Amino acid sequence: MSEVAKIEYNGQVYELPVVTGSENEKGIDIAKLRGSSGGLITLDRGFKNTGSCESAITFLNGEEGILRYRGYSIEELADKADFLEVAYLLIFGELPTQEQLSKFDADIKAEAHVDEDVKRILDGFPKSAHPMGVLSALTSALIAFNPSSVNANSEEEMYQAIVKIMAKFPVLTAWAHRKRMGLPLDYGDDNLGYVQNFLKMMFKKPNAEYQENKIITNAIDKLLILHADHEQNCSTSTVRIVGSSHAGLFASLSAGISALWGPLHGGANQAVIEMLEAIKADGGDTKKYMGKAKDKEDPFRLMGFGHRVYKNFDPRAKIIKVAADEVLGDLGVEDPVLGIAKGLEQEALSDAYFVDRKLYPNVDFYSGIIYRALGIPTEMFTPMFALGRLPGWIAQWREMRLKGEPIGRPRQIYTGANARDFKDIANR
């Protein structure tokens, strides 16, 4: 017997089915509300209480701070898997066998070249261009060089588009970095693993052999896993809604990159370091900045704190905080902003304003400290987030397309002028 919810309005009672998920989450299915009530719709600014889909990819429990990819805990995956394995899991639903993983890796390597003409597009950007804008543009430009990726309707066509972008996105990310640093572009090496190869493309000096630092490779691999998916966040919802028009995978990803760029979303990792640097420059007075964060008249927010879903510790932040201590210790890096970050966290966790609003550190609070210790420039922090989130965006786009979801088109409540007649300009 399926559950129903009842909405009473204007003397009428409308019964709506309740959907129950595999983790016993409940959703009122309002598909028939407008039609059965003569026009009643729901309104939910920022979709804080509204589900856009049923998905089998990632499960979050914000109250308990739980994050699972396809049923596996983020803690286990970060500890035991590697990024390409997690990408396969997210996209295809199961942890790969060695044979499946080797084929995925080989299919990606076979697509790792980026058309030389894309370099000419990159050349057109000023060095000062933010790499997120470059990445969004180049991802969209890839469509012109891979036209078959646009109308990917069958699973096989989707697979071909997926391995293409999994191969070319790390190249574009590294190229965006090298362009800003005035370095010649690097094409990578098929003998290296996915993350090793990305780091080689990022950091290989033009006049020296690339020397891998395993500590850095392992730390980046773990960070990419932690960023790989997060159900219906702003950028993933963007990828889904653009993809719902059948605009193609690369166009959908390009839109998702732009959404992630915002400082309230993925851009927060860059904003956190800029905030910590400002506090350091201001004498490390964390209490002053805590006061600013609580002052409604002050636009300042404690970047890296708070989350739409997590009303407990973001499990990723807990893992990254431990990794920050380990990586900086292993590399012998002293970074004073780590101490400032820990001080802010301690103060916030005992401050009524933050406790009452259940504001805890999120994934962005400590990640920038590790990226910086690994030699990644601040403006490349959000591109790193995008590289991590790539398989999640792909998985969500593929699920949406394979399920044949309808084109996304929300309704609205109109609050503008009522009907009125046109006035000639002489009479206005």
190 labelled catalytic: no
Among residues 268, 320, 341, 374, the one that binds ligand SDX under rule CB under 6 A: 268
Cβ 150 to ligand SDX, closest distance in Å?
Answer: 26
| CB-nearer residue toward ligand SDX: 89 or 141 | 89
Among residues 130, 240, 307, 401, the one that binds ligand SDX under rule CB under 6 A: 307
Phi, psi of 194, deg, nearest 5: -55, -50
* Residue 58 sits in the site that holds ligand SDX (CB under 6 A): no
307 labelled catalytic: yes
| CB-nearer residue toward ligand SDX: 126 or 299 | 299
| CB-nearer residue toward ligand SDX: 167 or 293 | 293
**Which residue in this structure is represented by tokens 């409604």?**
296
Catalytic residue among 82, 186, 314, 364: 364
Residues 6+ away with beta carbon under 8 Å from 392:
57, 58, 90, 228, 229, 230, 236
Binding residues for ligand SDX restricted to 133-192, rule: CB under 6 A: none
Query: Cα 290 to the chain's mean position, in Å?
Result: 27
Cβ 365 to ligand SDX, closest distance in Å?
Answer: 7
- Asked if 369 and 273 count as a contact pair (C-beta separation under 8 A), the reply is yes
Catalytic residue among 230, 307, 356, 421: 307
CA dist., res. 183 & res. 178, Å (int): 5
Single out the segment in contact with ligand SDX by CB under 6 A; choices: 9-17, 25-33, 64-72, 354-362: 354-362
Exposure string of 324-353, with b = 16+ CB inside 10 Å and e = fewer, is: beebbeebebebebbebbbebbeebeeeee
- For ligand SDX, what does the binding mask look like between residues 1 and 40, x meaning CB under 6 A? ----------------------------------------
Among residues 88, 305, 381, 393, the one that binds ligand SDX under rule CB under 6 A: 305
* Residue 301 sits in the site that holds ligand SDX (CB under 6 A): yes
CA dist., res. 88 & res. 200, Å (int): 22
**In this structure, how many other beta carbons lie within 10 angstroms of the beta carbon of residue 85?**
20
Among residues 158, 293, 319, 384, the one that binds ligand SDX under rule CB under 6 A: 293
* Residue 318 sits in the site that holds ligand SDX (CB under 6 A): no
| CB-nearer residue toward ligand SDX: 308 or 318 | 308
For 58, what's the count of Cα atoms within 13 Å in the CB-facing half-sphere?
Answer: 27
- Asked if 229 and 57 count as a contact pair (C-beta separation under 8 A), the reply is yes
For 131, what's the count of Cα atoms within 13 Å in the CB-facing half-sphere?
Answer: 27
Among residues 195, 255, 276, 302, the one that binds ligand SDX under rule CB under 6 A: 302
| CB-nearer residue toward ligand SDX: 352 or 407 | 352
Residues 6+ away with beta carbon under 8 Å from 227:
316, 363, 367, 384, 385, 388, 389
Binding residues for ligand SDX restricted to 359-398, rule: CB under 6 A: 359, 362-364
* Residue 230 sits in the site that holds ligand SDX (CB under 6 A): yes
* Burial group, residue 3, by CB count within 10 angstroms (0-12, 13-18, 19+): exposed
Size of the site for ligand SDX (CB under 6 A): 22
| CB-nearer residue toward ligand SDX: 265 or 372 | 265
- Asked if 349 and 321 count as a contact pair (C-beta separation under 8 A), the reply is no
Single out the segment in contact with ligand SDX by CB under 6 A; choices: 144-152, 178-186, 304-312, 417-425: 304-312
Cβ 203 to ligand SDX, closest distance in Å?
Answer: 26
* Residue 345 sits in the site that holds ligand SDX (CB under 6 A): no
| CB-nearer residue toward ligand SDX: 320 or 363 | 363
Single out the segment in contact with ligand SDX by CB under 6 A; choices: 96-104, 183-191, 211-219, 298-306: 298-306
Cβ 62 to ligand SDX, closest distance in Å?
Answer: 9
Cα→Cα distances 399→51, 65, 101, 149, 389, Å? 16, 25, 20, 16, 15
- Asked if 184 and 126 count as a contact pair (C-beta separation under 8 A), the reply is no
Cα→Cα distances 282→274, 279, 298, 322, 335, Å? 12, 5, 17, 27, 16
Active site residues: 307, 364
Interacting residues toward ligand SDX by CB under 6 A: 46, 230, 233, 264-266, 268, 293, 301-309, 357, 359, 362-364
